[in-house]
Chains A and B, each alone.
Chain A
Amino acid sequence: MAHQISLTVNGKQQQLEVEARDLLVDVLREKCRLTGTHVGCDTSSCGACVVEVDGLSVKSCTLTAVQADGGSVLTVEGLAGSDGLHPIQEGFKEEHGLQCGFCTPGMIMTAKDLLARNPNPTEHEIREALEGNFCRCTGYHNIVRSIQYAAAKMRGETPVSAS
C-alpha cells in the first residue's frame, strides 16, 4: 500500500509516495536520486548509509521512509554550500581520508555527528565514534587524521596537515 510522506531533504521539501516497507536509504537513492548515500550491507553494520535526520545521525537502512515522515534529512549532497567543501569534506581531502570513496559519505556524516557532540575529540574518541562505519581501503589511519583536521578547522584553529 502506498503512503504519502513529506520529507525535507537537504532543505528542499518533497512529497513522496512510498511503500510501508521502503527503507529511507532506498527512497533517498531511488526516488530523490541522491546516490551519495550508499548501501554496503544488509545488517545495519557498515555505516555507508549514514545521514542526518532531524539533527541526529541515523543509518538510513534501519529506518523506513514512513518513519521519517515530516522530518528533515541531511545527506552528504547537502553538506556543503554551492561552492567549496564543508570542513569535514576538506579534512578528508587534505588528509587523504578516502580512497575508493564508497564509505566516505557515511564516514563524513558520522564525523559530523561526533564533532557536534565533541568538538575536540582525542584520537581514541574518534576511533570509537567510527565503530559503526567500515572502511576497507584506508585502514582508518587517515580518516582519523581527516577528522582531527576538520575538528581543528571547525574550532577556528589552523589545521596542521600531516602530509
Chain B
Amino acid sequence: MSKYIGKSIKRVEDKRFLTGKGNYTDDMVLPQQTYAYIVRSPYAHAKVNGIDISEAQKASGVVAVFTGKDIPESIAGVPAGWQVNFKNGDIMKEPPHPLLIRDKARHIGDAVAVVIAESKAEAKDAAELVEVDWEELDAVTDPRAAAQEGAPLVHEDCPHNMCFDWELGNPKEEVDAAIAAAHHVTSLEFVNQRMIPNAMEPRSAIGHYETARDYYTLYTSSQNPHLIRLLMCAFVLGLPEHKVRVVAPDVGGGFGSKIFHYTEEALVIWASKQIERPVKWTAERSESFMTDAHGRDHVSEAKMGFDKAGNITALRVNTYANLGAYISTFAPAVPTYLHGTLLQGLYTTPKINVDVTATFTHTNAVDAYRGAGRPEATYLLERLLDLAALEMDRDPAELRKQNFIPAFDGVTEPGYQTQVALQYDSGDYHAVLDRGLEMVGYQDFRKEQAEAAKNGKYLGIGFSTYIEACGIAPSAVVGALGARAGLYESAQVRVQPTGKVSVYSGSHSHGQGHETTFAQVVADKLGIALEDVEIVHGDSESVAFGMGTYGSRSLAVGGSAIVKSIDKVLEKGAKIAAHKLEAQVDDLEYAEGKWTVKGTDRSIAFGDVSLTAYVPHDYPEGLEPGLDFSSFYDPANFTYPFGCHIAVVEIDPETGKVALKRFVAVDDVGNVINPMIVDGQIHGGLAQGIGQALFEGAIYDDYGQLINGSYMDYCMPRADDFPSFEIDRTTTPCPHNPLGVKGAGEAGCIGSTPAVVNAVIDALWKNGHQVKDIRMPLIPERVWNAMQS
C-alpha cells in the first residue's frame, strides 16, 4: 500500500524558502571573511602586454591582488570531464582553462586578476585601479566560421579551431544514396542559438582554508559538490581529497549551468590559503551572463528523405558545435553522445548519419543547459517532420504516426535498438500523441484555423513528439564513450536507534524537491511516517560520495540507490525481527512498519528492531550491531522519457508578434512519485523551451562583444508571456530500475521549442507564405519579414 508514493505531498523544504530562511552561499558570512572581485577582459581576444596592480594594492581595504603570474605553473586550470576523440582516433584538443589568464584573453569576461578586500565595495573599487595593457586581436564567434581557413585562432595549437570531429550511425555513402533515391527530401539549415541559463541565484563560492588543521572548505552554488571536490583536488590544485570539504547548500536553480567546475571555485580556495582568511566571491548578474557556461549554439544542415508513401528513409545531419573558448566540464558530450544519439527520435528511420565538428571560438564556454544536446536533436527532427508534412501536403500528426516505432514495454518485448547506438527502454508513442490531439481538439482546431485564414487571421499549430535519454549509464558504457567519471549514484540509509531515518544522498536538490520526493519513497518502503525521514544532501562531509543532479537523473539513479539501501535495511531488520519473534526469516512479512509472522498476530515494529540493532543484548548470533547501509547504484541503461507537445499560436499580421495561445504537453516520464512536483518540473521546462523559441538568445557581435549581457537586453520570459499550460501524462514504467521512473527535469524544455516554431511556420503557410524557417528567437521583426515573402 502506498501512503505517499504517487501523491502530491506538499514540499517539506518549502518553509525555509517561504520565510526567508533559505541558506544560499552568498547568505553566509564566515568570521574574518574577505571579498573577491574579479577583473575580467573587456575584449574577446586580446594579448596582455602588462598588468599594473600597484595602485589597486594601495587602495582602501585591499588585502591582496593576484594575477596569473602569482599562480604556480603547476596549476594549469580546470579540466574537461569528458573526452571525445577525433574520427582518426587522435585525442581531442584540450587547451588549459587557467584560473587567471597569463598571456591572452580568449573571451569577454576571461579572468585576468582578482582583488581581495575587507568589503565587496572596496574590492570593486580597487579592481577599477588594476591597469591591464591590452592589445586587441581579431575574434571569431561562429562555430562554422571558426573552422574555415584563416579564421583567428583561439588556441595556437588547435588548427582550424578544431577541438574534435566525430561521426555516428550508418555509413555516409549508404545514407547519401538513400537520400538521393528518396521520393521527397526535406532539407533545412538550422541555427540553434546560444542560450544563457540564467539561474536566478548568481554563482557564488567561499573558500575557507584553516591553517591550524590544514583543511579546506568550499561553499559553492553547485549541482554536484563531490565531483567539484574530485576535479579540484585531483586535477586542478593537487590537494588531498580527505582534507577538502565541499558544501553546496541551498542552490538557487542550476539548469545545467551549476554542474561544472568553475575557475572561481578553485581560485577562492587557492586565494584563501594565500591570505589565510575566508574568501567569498559572488557573481554580479553581468558576470553570470559572461561566464556561466552557456547552452546550445549549434549550426546544422539536415536532410530527411521520404518514400512515396511518406515513410522516412534516411536522415543526414551535419553539425558545427560551438564550444566557446575553453572546454567546460561536460561540453564534449553535449553535441555528440547527447545529440547524435538522439537523432532516431520516435521514428523507424532505417539510415541515419550524423557528423559533428566541435570548434573553439572567442566566446564563453558552452556546456549542458537543460536538455543538453537532446533539445538540439529534437529541434532538428521535429522541425523537419512538420516542414515535410507541409511540403508533402500531409497531416503532421498522421505523418508522425506512420513513422512511429511501435509500442514496446521492454519486459515482454525487447528494447528498441536505434541506428545511433542507443537501446530505448520502453515506450508507447501513439498514446502521447493521441492524448495530445484529444486535449487540443485537433479536428476542431483545423476548422477554426481554416475559417480564420479566410479572415486574414494567422492561427497556427505545431507539433513535437520527442524522446530523450536520462540518467545516462552504466558507468562502463559511458566510460567507453569518453566520460572521465562514473555515472552511478550513492545513498546511505541510516536508521537511528529510535527508528527515525536519515538518508544521505549523492544527488543534489536545487529546486527539484528531493527532500520531499526521496522521503516519500523511503517512508513508503519502510512503512513509516514521512516526518520520520530526513534527506541530507550537498555536503561532502556527511554524504559519502555523489555524482550530483543533472540530466534528469536524480530519482532514476539516486532514488534507485536509496531503494537498494532500504532493501539492505529490511534484509538485516528481518534477521533481527526473526530472532526476537523466534521465527524463521522466511516466515516473516513486512508491511506498515512491522514484521509479522505470516498467519499470526505476532509482530515487531520497525522502531523496536532498530533499537535492538543498537542495543543488541538479545540479538542474533554473529550479526553485527547497527542498522545503517550504503549503496551505489549503477543503472543498466539510460531511461527514455518521451512525449507530445502541441503549440497553438496567433500572429499579429501588422507587427509579426507571436502570441502563444495554448500549450498542450503530454509527457511520459515513467512512474511518478509526486505528481505536483513532476508537473512543476514540466511547467518550468516548457517556459525555458518556449523562451528559446520566442524570446531568448545570446548575441555576440563580430568583435566578440556580448551585446545583450544584461536583463535590460536579454529577453527573459515573464509571467505574461505564457498562457496556463495544459498538461497531462501517460505512464510507461522504466523496466530496468526499481522505481520504474524515467526522469522529468528536462522533458518540458526538450519538447517545447520546435512545437512553437512549427506553429508559427504553420500559421504562415496556411496564410500563403511558404516560409521554411525563421531563426530563433522568433521576435516580431523576423516574423514580420517572413510574412513579406
| Interface presence of A155 (CB below 8 A) | no
Contacts of A136 in B (CB 8 A): 198-200, 253, 255, 684, 687-688, 716
**Which residues of chain A are near B26, meaning CB under 8 Å?**
35, 39
- The answer to the question of B724 belonging to the interface, with a C-beta cut-off of 8 Å to chain A, is yes
Chain B 11-23, CB-CB to A under 8 Å as 1, else 0, gives 1011111111111
Q: How far is the CA of A87 from the CA of B685 in the complex (A)?
A: 27
Contact status A163-B675, CB under 8 Å: yes
> Would A163 and B253 be within 8 Å (CB), given that A93-B14, A136-B684, A143-B719 are in contact?
no
Say if the beta carbon of A160 comes within 8 Å of chain B: no
Residues 117-142 of chain A, each 1 if its beta carbon lies under 8 Å from chain B, else 0: 00000011011101101111111111
Contact call A94/B10, Cβ cutoff below 8 A: yes
Contacts of B474 in A (CB 8 A): none
Contact status A92-B14, CB under 8 Å: yes
> A132: shortest Cβ distance to chain B, in Å?
8
How far apart are the CA atoms of A141 and B10 in the complex, in Å? 17
* A49 CB, nearest partner CB in chain B, Å: 11
Q: Is the CB of B719 within 8 A of A131?
A: yes
Residues in B neighbouring A77, C-beta threshold 8 A: 19-21
A58 at the interface (CB under 8 A from B): no
- Report Cα–Cα, A33/B21, bound state, in Å: 11
Contact A96:B199 (CB < 8 A) given known A42-B710, A77-B19, A141-B683? no
| Cα(A46)–Cα(B511), bound, Å | 18
> Which residues in A have their C-beta under 8 angstroms from that of B253?
99-100, 102, 136-137
| Among candidates B11, B19, B510, B688, residue contacting A36 with C-beta atoms closer than 8 Å | B19
CB distance from A79 to the nearest CB of B (A): 8
B221-265 Cβ-contact flags toward A at 8 Å (1 or 0)? 000000000000000000000000000001111010000000000
Q: A45-B712, A131-B720, A163-B675 are in contact. Are A138 and B20 (CB under 8 A)?
A: no
Residues on the A chain within 8 Å of B573, using CB = none
Q: In the bound complex, what is the Cα–Cα distance between A158 and B200 (angstroms)?
A: 33
Stretch at the interface among A1-9, A64-72, A103-111: A103-111
Instruction: Give CA–CA (A48, B27) in the complex, Å.
Output: 14
Least distance between A91 CB and chain B CB atoms (Å): 10
Q: Contact check: which of B17, B683, B712 meets A138 at CB < 8 Å?
A: B683
CA distance A34 to B725 in the complex (A): 35
Contacts of A45 on B, CB cut-off 8 Å? 710-712, 716
Whether B615 sits at the interface, judged by CB under 8 Å, is no
Q: Mark A76-95, 1 if CB is under 8 A from B, else 0.
A: 11011000010001001110
> Can you list 20 A-B contacts (CB < 8 A)?
A21-B121, A26-B120, A29-B27, A30-B29, A40-B285, A41-B285, A42-B284, A75-B20, A76-B19, A96-B677, A100-B250, A100-B511, A101-B18, A130-B718, A130-B719, A134-B200, A136-B687, A136-B716, A140-B719, A163-B8
Closest to B716 in A: A134
A54, B772: Cα distance in complex, Å: 55
Q: Which of B121, B251, B284 contacts A19 (CB 8 A)?
A: B121
Q: Are A100's CB and B676's CB within 8 A?
A: no
Is A102 a contact of B20 with CB atoms below 8 Å?
no
**Please, which residues of chain A bring their CB within 8 A of the CB of B677?**
96
B607 at the A interface (CB under 8 A): no
Q: How far is the CB of A148 from chain B (nearest CB, A)?
A: 11
Q: Which residue of B lies closest to A145 (CB)?
A: B724
In this complex, the interface size class of chain B, counting residues with CB under 8 Å from chain A, is: 35 or more
Contact present for B719 and A102 (CB under 8 Å): no
4 further A-B contacts with Cβ under 8 Å, apart from A48-B200, A93-B15, A130-B720, are A35-B26, A99-B253, A127-B718, A130-B719
Quote the shortest CB–CB distance from A36 to chain B (angstroms): 2
Tell yes or no: A37 within 8 A of B by CB: yes
Query: Do the beta carbons of B511 and A123 come within 8 Å of each other?
Result: no
Query: In this assembly, does B201 line the interface, its C-beta being within 8 Å of a C-beta of chain A?
Result: yes
Complex CA distance for A38 and B199, rounded to whole angstroms: 13
Q: Which of B201, B676, B688, B710 contacts A102 (CB under 8 A)?
A: B201
Most buried by A among B13, B17, B719: B719
Check B687–A140 contact: CB distance below 8 A. Answer: yes
Secondary structure at the A interface, as helix, strand, loop or mixed, is loop
Which residues in chain A, 139-163, are within 8 Å of chain B measured between CB atoms?
139-144, 163
Q: Which of A85, A103, A140 contacts B200 (CB 8 A)?
A: A103
Chain B's closest residue to A10 (CB) is B20
Chain A residues with CB below 8 A from B724, complex form: 123, 141, 144
Report B31 CB to chain A, min CB distance, Å.
14
B286 contacts partner chain A, Cβ-Cβ < 8 Å: yes
Query: Distance in Å from the Cβ of B248 to the closest Cβ of chain A?
Result: 12
Interface residues on A, range: 35 or more
Decide yes or no: A42 and B200 within 8 Å by CB, A96-B11, A102-B252, A105-B20 being known contacts.
Answer: no
In the complex, are the beta carbons of B14 and A139 less than 8 A apart?
no
Interchain nearest-CB distance for A140 vs B (Å)? 4
Nearest A-chain residue to B201, judged by Cβ? A102
Cβ contact within 8 Å between A99 and B513 = yes
Find the A residue at minimum CB distance from B513.
Answer: A99
Known: A46-B711, A141-B683. Is A101-B19 also a contact (CB below 8 A)? no
State the majority secondary structure of interface residues on B: loop
- B199 A139 Cβ-Cβ under 8 A: no
Q: Which residue of A lies closest to B202 (CB)?
A: A40
Chain B CB within 10 A, most for which of A39, A100, A123, A163: A100
| Contact partners of A104 in chain B: CB under 8 A | 17-18
Nearest-CB residue, chain B, relative to A89? B18
Residues of A participating in the B interface, judged by any CB pair closer than 8 Å? 19, 21-22, 26, 29-30, 33-43, 45-46, 48, 75-77, 79-80, 85, 89, 92-94, 96, 98-105, 108, 123-124, 126-128, 130-131, 133-144, 163
Chain A hits for B680, CB < 8 A = 96, 99, 137-138, 141-142
Cα of A147 to Cα of B21 in the assembled complex, Å? 21
Whole-angstrom CA separation of A124 from B720 in the bound complex: 7
Query: In the complex, A76 Cα to B15 Cα: how many Å?
Result: 12
CB distance from A107 to the nearest CB of B (A): 10
Q: Which residues of B contact A96 (CB under 8 A)?
A: 10-11, 676-677, 679-680
Closest to A36 in B: B20
Q: Answer whether A38 and B18 are a contact pair too, CB < 8 Å, given A43-B711, A94-B10, A102-B252.
A: no
**Do A40 and B719 have beta carbons less than 8 Å apart?**
no
Please name the residue on chain B nearest to A130 by beta carbon: B719
What chain B residues lie within 8 Å of A131 (beta carbons)?
Answer: 718-720
Q: Does B512 sit at the interface, judged by CB under 8 A?
A: yes
Are B252 and A100 in contact (CB-based, < 8 A)?
A: yes
The CA of A102 and the CA of B26, in the complex, are separated in Å by: 12
The complex places the Cα of A79 from the Cα of B716 at a distance, in Å, of 28
Are the C-beta atoms of A38 and B722 separated by less than 8 Å? no
Contact A43 B199 (CB under 8 A): no
Asked if A89 and B285 sit within 8 Å, CB to CB, the answer is no
Taken together as a complex, chains A and B put the C-alpha atoms of A26 and B722 apart, in Å, by 33
Which residue of B has the minimal Cβ distance to A37?
A: B20
Q: Which B residues are CB-close (under 8 A) to A33?
A: 29
B18 touches A163 (CB 8 A): no
A123 contacts which chain B residues (CB < 8 A)? 724
Please tell me if the beta carbons of B17 and A127 are within 8 angstroms of each other in the complex: no
Contact indicator B722/A140 (Cβ below 8 Å): yes
A32 to B17, CA, bound (A): 18
Nearest-neighbor residue (CB-CB) of B676 within chain A: A163
Residue B215, interface by CB 8 Å: no
Top 7 nearest A-B pairs (CB, nearest first) are: A36-B20, A101-B17, A102-B252, A139-B687, A100-B511, A45-B711, A99-B511
Question: What chain A residues lie within 8 Å of B15 (beta carbons)?
Answer: 85, 93
Interface code B666-702, partner A: CB below 8 Å = 1, 0 otherwise? 0000000001110110011111100000000000000
Bound-complex Cα distance A75 to B18 (A): 11
A36:B22 contact, CB within 8 angstroms:
yes
Residues on the B chain within 8 Å of A21, using CB: 121
